[in-house]
């Protein structure tokens, strides 16, 4: 299974979503584990970019590639509203 991740544009650290739902930050052989809100859990790296953790660890919305861009935005807003009322 491929993890969702991104390389931080300034620090060069990689941020990966683990199967456990935590964020693994790695740079120069060191690693740290954080919650999706950027709270430190364990490891050598003790600081992270909390905004990137939220972005990587946030809810993913399935998108139909055949939809127009504005239709996808409307569908995402609808799903977000349904998620907040539950």
Distance CA 85, CA 1 (A): 31
Q: Report the predicted TM-score, pTM, of the whole model to 2 decimal places.
A: 0.69
Closest CA to 57 of 25, 27, 22, 8: 22
Q: Which residues of the chain have pLDDT under 70?
A: 1-3, 61-65, 67-69, 84-86
pLDDT one-digit tens code per residue, 38-52: 999 999 999 999 999
Domains of the chain: total: 1
Range of the domain at 65: 5-85
CA 56 centroid distance within chain: 1
User: How would you class 48 by CB atoms within 10 Å of its CB: exposed for 0-12, middle for 13-18, buried for 19 or more?
Assistant: buried
């Amino acid at each position: 299974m491929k993890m969702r991740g991104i390389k931080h544009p300034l620090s060069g650290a990689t941020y990966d979503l683990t199967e456990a739902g935590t964020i693994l930050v790695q740079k120069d052989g060191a690693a740290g584990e954080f919650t999706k809100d950027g709270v430190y859990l364990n490891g050598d790296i003790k600081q992270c970019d909390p905004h990137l953790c939220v972005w990587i660890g946030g809810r993913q919305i399935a998108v139909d590639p055949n939809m127009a861009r504005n239709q996808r935005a409307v569908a995402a807003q609808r799903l977000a509203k349904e998620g907040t009322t539950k």
